[in-house]
Structure 1
Amino acid sequence: MSLQKRYGPWALVLGASEGTGREFARQLAAEGIPSILIARREAPLEQLKAEIAQEYGVACINATIDLAHGDALERIVAVVDDREVGLLICNAGGDPNGKLFLDVPLSAWLDLIQRNVMTTMAVCHHFAGPMRTRGQGGILLLNSGACYGGAATMGPYSGSKAFMLGFAEGLWADLQPHGVDVLTLVLGRTDTPEFRRFLAEKGMDMPEDVWSAEAVARLGLERLPHGPIQNVGQADDQSGMSPQSAAERRARVVAVSKVTAELYGTGH
């Protein structure tokens, strides 16, 4: 089944202004799927929308929304209006702080949690419902290798990504019987403008083992039907980022879901 038939007629891309979000929108447009482009900065969104229209003849729409604000879902829903979203891509969710927990005001960490956890969960809850009713759709959650464990300067960030990992596994188990695909794409080092800014700030050179944003987006769309996890740079049965491979974690989710189905009578 083509991407357009499986995940159309519209995609909703959060964090679409640059990097992997931008690449997802471009690759979807190449398949004839227009996107609703959401990010904080208007100029990059306008530029991306114009490029997509010129190169692919696909008309996207865009809106500037801060996903760290409590009204983000309400504003996204208003922009989407009555358009049918067949694919939700949550690409926003980095760590703009990069400092020790106590060296940053609490408000900054609360913004991170609002963006990475609360808004992500809210948009999934809103848009997954119609997908389940239609028996078709996809949800792609961009993650980080930080989901597998914390480290200095990464406490709240890794905690938010660990939430995404467990949430994606559970959401996949919930929706897979209804024909809705869910994948959390776990990234390592990726060549994005944000990563380049970080390297420049630290006076570091670009590492050799870096994936391009284009390759990451292509992999995510290819692996979306094979959730709930894809570790970028690793085969399905290969461990490395964590002691368990994606295949082993999938088997665990299936096994535990059978137990919970019996406990709660969900019928899975």
Structure 2
Amino acid sequence: MSWVERYGPWALVLGASEGTGREFARQLATEGIPSVLIARREAPLEQLKAEIARDYGVECISAAVDLALGDALERIVAVVGDREVGLLICNAGGDPNGKPFLDVQLAAWLELIQRNVVTTLAVCHHFARSMRVRGRGGILLVNSGACYGGAATMGPYSGSKAFMLGFAEGLWADLQPHGVDVLTLVLGRTDTPEFRRFLADKGMDMPADVWSAEAVARLGLERLPHGPIHNVGQADDQPGMSPQSAAERRARVVAVSRVTAQLYGTGN
């Protein structure tokens, strides 16, 4: 199938205002797929819409939605309307805090969990149901190397990314028999405006081994049919971020899924 046949006619991109989210929307437009662009800030979304229309002749729509609020799903569903979403990209979910757990107000951590975990779970549940019925589609969850373990100042953030890792693997196993692709793309250091702001705040220079947002988005779309996980900068059979390679984790998911299928009679 062509890209439009497999992942069209619309994509939904959460966290589309800058960085990798912006690049996902632009690269999908080259395949003729328009996006529903969602982020907190309206102005960058309007600018991105205009650029995509000018450069590719593709008309996107957008809405400013705070993914850390409890009504985010309802607002996103209202924006999408009756458009058929064949590709969901969850790109939002950074850590704006960067401090030890007890040095941050609880409300800020709860917002992070709402954005990174609850909203992600909710939008996948809503849009994957129609993908399963149609027998095609894709879900791409942008992750971080923090998913493989915690560290100082990263407890809630790494916990939320570990959830995404396990969730994506299970969702891939559930949806693969129904023709729906699922991938969590595990990023290392990526040249995004958010990363540049972090470096500026810390007085640090850009590291030499950083990936461009454009290259990361291209890789994510290329690897989407080969889920459930891909570590940016590593071959499928190469360990690095984790002692297990992506291929080894995939084999584990398949093996465990055979056991759970027998236990619960799912037939997957």
| Distance across 2 between alignment mates of 1:174 and 1:30 | 30
- For structure 1, the 5+ residue unaligned runs are none
* 1:86 and 2:86 are equivalent in the alignment: yes
State the TM-score, normalized to the length of structure 1.
1.00
AA at the equivalent of 2:51: E
2:63 match: secondary structure:
strand
CA distance in 1, matches of 2:194, 2:241: 22
**1:130 matched residue in structure 2:** 130
1:222 match: 222
- Residue 97 of structure 1: aligned partner: 97
Map 1:1-268 → 2, pairs under 5 A: 1-268=1-268
- Opposite residue 14 of structure 1, the aligned amino acid is L
Deviations 1:3-37 (A, max 9, x none): 22210000000000000000000000011000000
Provide the rounded CA distance (Å) in 2 between the counterparts of 1:249 and 1:267: 21
Give the percent of matched residue pairs that are identical in Structure 1 and Structure 2.
88
Instruction: Give how far 1:202 is off.
Output: 0.6
| Alignment length (residue pairs) | 268
- Runs ≥4 in structure 1, deviation > 4 angstroms? none
Quick one: distance in 2 between partners of 1:2 and 1:199? 40
Displacement of 1:94: 0.2
For residues 204-235 of structure 1, the C-alpha deviation after alignment (integer angstroms, 9 at most, x for no partner) is 00000000000000000000000000000000
Per the TM alignment, residue 2 of structure 1 is displaced from its structure 2 partner at its CA by 2.3
Render the CA deviation track for 1:143-194: whole Å, top value 9, x for unaligned.
0000000000000000000000000000000000000000000000000000
| 1: CA distance, partners of 2:100 / 2:63 | 33
Unaligned stretches of 5+ residues in structure 2:
none
Could you list the per-position Cα deviations for residues 100-141 of structure 1 after superposition, in whole angstroms to 9, with x for gaps in the alignment?
000000000000000000000000000000000000000000
Q: 2-side partners of 1:26 and 1:215: how far apart? A: 12
